[in-house]
């Protein structure tokens, strides 16, 4: 430590010291929380319920597996929608119905579906339990009794899902993104908590993995490979941390506050009781889970919301900065909207561990996290300029931050490798480890700036989703 220069006022030094203390404390809290998550994730994976082998899994669970409606909202997805529906139709599950909801697409999504599957207008008696924009019509083909297309006015993803909920006739519904790929036995695996604890389980989520770089044939991932695009590689590491560490651990603690909109199974009745998906947020998937927690705690009924590592849903991630930036600022905005809307649950004993751990985690990671980190970026040169920070200290703090990030990533890779082993080639391990180091040098800072953009949009009450450009799974991976 070197002494402050003569021009630095006392208040400047005091303020800088206070900010430094907040940054360091928040960092320490985050480190502590990540360590706890790692421990819980390891416990969850080590003690996950044993699963019968393939043939037995089908025979045993197919008898008792409850019927499921798969809700797949689609907006301007004419390039991929037919392939996606074919992939969904080939899922291995005894009793399911696909409700593809065309959310007022302006392209040829509906026409492609009608042509490809020989659909014709049909009647459907639907519930009006949750609100949504007007339905224009239903389309089906008696030869494909598992497929129903709902054509409706545009209202956004939450609105489309609500239309699907009203049209579904099963005790469970599975919300997915129309352009995602479910593994053939994903439904059979994710339904397990609903079979094992039918009176308690109200929702379950599975792992989302990134399909960029993988070989996909007829709507199936047949060869898992790493992509060559740097942004996609970084996102693979991020998704591993998010699902194999954070969500698995939070699920084990029973404080899961989000089930990805790309793949989640819900009790229809419980979702109807909370009014379905909310329209006034871009974090509708997170908000639904929080509403379910609130509702179940309010009515005093025991319940469980589970996360299961094995059922996998593959999705395409953005490969360019602009699209990724929009996605990340939207996610940030969604988290802030949920926190703000349900802030009365925060540290409220009435909501037990959800109020303390679940909301504590949102506060630490989503609300305060990016602000403090960006503050740190600004503070370092300031402290240095004020003469309050010597270079050895700066480098030491930086080193701990980076190496701890790498430690968390490597620990997640260990969990992946020991328990799941989804990367068939050994080369993936050092590549992802290298990414865990490199991501700290530029990407992490950029990601925090996108999140600050989300903060700004939240403060300005911006509601737009932004455009998500996808290549589509039909396109072979770049070589």
Partner 1 sequence: MTATLQSLWEVSLLLCVFALLAIAGLLLARVVGERKANKRESLRRQLLPQLLRGEPVPVERSRVARRMAADLTIELAELVQGNDREGFLAAASLAGADAELVRRLRSNAAQDRLVAAETLAMFPPYASAVSAVALSDRNADVRLGAALALAQEGRAPPVGKLVRSLGIGSKEQSLLVVSLMRDLARTNPHAVEALLYDLEVPDTAKLAATDALAESSSVDHEALVAWMAEASEEDSDLRPRIFRALGQLGHPSGHVAILAGLDSERWQVRSAAAEAVGRSALHSAIPRIVQLLADDQWWVRFRAAEALTRLGAEGRLALQRAAADPNWIVREAASTILAEQAAA
CB 382 → partner 1: shortest distance, Å? Answer: 20
Between CA 167 and CA 99 the distance in angstroms is 8
DSSP lists the bridge partners of residue 32 as none
Q: Which phi-psi region, left, alpha or beta, contains residue 398 (left: φ > 0; alpha: ψ -120 to 50)?
A: alpha
Binding piece for partner 1, criterion CB under 8 A, among 6-14, 95-103, 368-376, 401-409: 401-409
- Site size toward partner 1 (CB under 8 A) is 52
Secondary structure (H, E, C), 60-106: HHHHHCCCEEEEEEECCCCCCHHHHHHHHHCCCCCCEEEEEEEECCC
Residue burial 268-288, b: 16+ Cβ < 10 Å; e: rest: bebbbbbebbbbebbbbbbbb
Among residues 10, 128, 218, 479, the one that binds partner 1 under rule CB under 8 A? 128
Secondary structure element (H or E) that encloses residue 294, with its range: helix 284-299
CB 125 → partner 1: shortest distance, Å? Answer: 4
Beta-carbon contacts of residue 299 (< 8 Å; ≥ 6 apart)? none
Regarding 56 and contact with partner 1 (CB under 8 A), the answer is: yes
Regarding 136 and contact with partner 1 (CB under 8 A), the answer is: no
Regarding 8 and contact with partner 1 (CB under 8 A), the answer is: no
When the beta carbons of 63 and 217 are compared against partner 1, the nearer one is 63
Regarding 9 and contact with partner 1 (CB under 8 A), the answer is: no
Secondary structure element (H or E) that encloses residue 297, with its range: helix 284-299
The two tokens of residue 304 are 């469980």
Regarding 461 and contact with partner 1 (CB under 8 A), the answer is: no
Among residues 6, 7, 10, 49, the one that binds partner 1 under rule CB under 8 A? 49
Binding piece for partner 1, criterion CB under 8 A, among 8-16, 339-347, 369-377, 402-410: 402-410
Beta-carbon contacts of residue 205 (< 8 Å; ≥ 6 apart)? 190, 247, 251, 256, 259, 260, 263, 264, 265, 306, 307, 308
Regarding 426 and contact with partner 1 (CB under 8 A), the answer is: yes
Regarding 469 and contact with partner 1 (CB under 8 A), the answer is: no
When the beta carbons of 106 and 426 are compared against partner 1, the nearer one is 426
Residues that bind partner 1 (CB under 8 A): 1, 47, 49-53, 55-56, 59-61, 63-64, 66, 122-125, 127-129, 140, 142, 169, 195-200, 392-393, 396-397, 399-400, 402-404, 406-407, 410-411, 413-414, 417, 426, 429-430, 433, 436
């Amino acid at each position: 430590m070197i002494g402050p220069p003569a021009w630095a006022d006392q208040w400047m030094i005091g303020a800088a010291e206070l900010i430094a203390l907040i940054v360091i404390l928040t960092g320490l809290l985050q480190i502590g929380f990540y360590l706890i998550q790692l421990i819980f994730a390891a416990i969850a994976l080590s003690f996950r319920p044993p699963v019968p082998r393939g043939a037995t899994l089908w025979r045993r669970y197919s008898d008792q597996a409850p019927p499921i409606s798969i809700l797949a909202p689609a907006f301007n997805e004419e390039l991929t929608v037919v392939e996606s529906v074919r992939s969904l139709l080939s899922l291995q599950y005894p009793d399911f119905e696909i409700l593809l909801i065309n959310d007022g697409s302006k392209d040829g999504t509906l026409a492609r579906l009608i042509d490809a599957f020989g659909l014709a207008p049909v009647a459907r008696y639907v519930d009006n339990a949750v609100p949504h924009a007007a339905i224009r019509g239903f389309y089906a083909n008696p030869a494909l009794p598992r497929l129903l297309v709902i054509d409706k006015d545009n209202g956004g993803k939450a609105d489309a899902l609500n239309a699907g909920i009203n049209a579904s006739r099963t005790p469970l519904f599975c919300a997915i993104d129309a352009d995602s790929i479910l593994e053939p036995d994903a439904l059979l695996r994710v339904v397990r908590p609903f079979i094992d604890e039918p009176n308690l389980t109200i929702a379950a989520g599975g792992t989302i993995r990134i399909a960029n770089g993988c070989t996909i044939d007829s709507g199936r991932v047949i060869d898992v490979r790493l992509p060559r695009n740097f942004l996609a590689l970084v996102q693979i590491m991020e998704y591993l941390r998010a699902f194999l560490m954070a969500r698995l651990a939070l699920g084990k603690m029973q404080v899961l506050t989000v089930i990805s909109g790309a793949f989640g199974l819900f009790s229809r009745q419980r979702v109807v009781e909370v009014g379905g998906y909310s329209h006034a947020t871009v974090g509708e998937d997170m908000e639904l889970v929080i509403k379910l927690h609130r509702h179940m705690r309010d009515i005093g009924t025991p319940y469980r919301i589970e996360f299961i590592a094995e059922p996998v849903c593959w999705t395409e991630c953005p490969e360019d900065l602009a699209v990724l930036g929009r996605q990340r600022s939207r996610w940030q905005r969604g988290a802030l909207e949920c926190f703000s809307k349900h802030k009365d649950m925060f540290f409220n004993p009435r909501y037990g561990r959800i109020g303390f751990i679940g909301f504590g985690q949102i506060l630490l990671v989503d609300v305060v996290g990016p602000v403090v980190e960006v503050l740190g970026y600004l503070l370092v040169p300031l402290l240095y300029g004020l003469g309050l920070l010597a270079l050895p200290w700066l480098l030491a703090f930086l080193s701990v931050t980076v190496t701890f990030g790498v430690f968390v990533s490597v620990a997640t890779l260990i969990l992946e490798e020991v328990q799941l082993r989804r990367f068939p080639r050994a080369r993936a391990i050092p590549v992802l480890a290298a990414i865990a180091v490199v991501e700290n040098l530029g990407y992490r800072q950029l990601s925090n700036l996108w999140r600050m953009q989300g903060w700004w949009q939240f403060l300005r009450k911006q509601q737009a989703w932004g455009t998500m450009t996808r290549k589509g799974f039909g396109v072979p991976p770049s070589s």
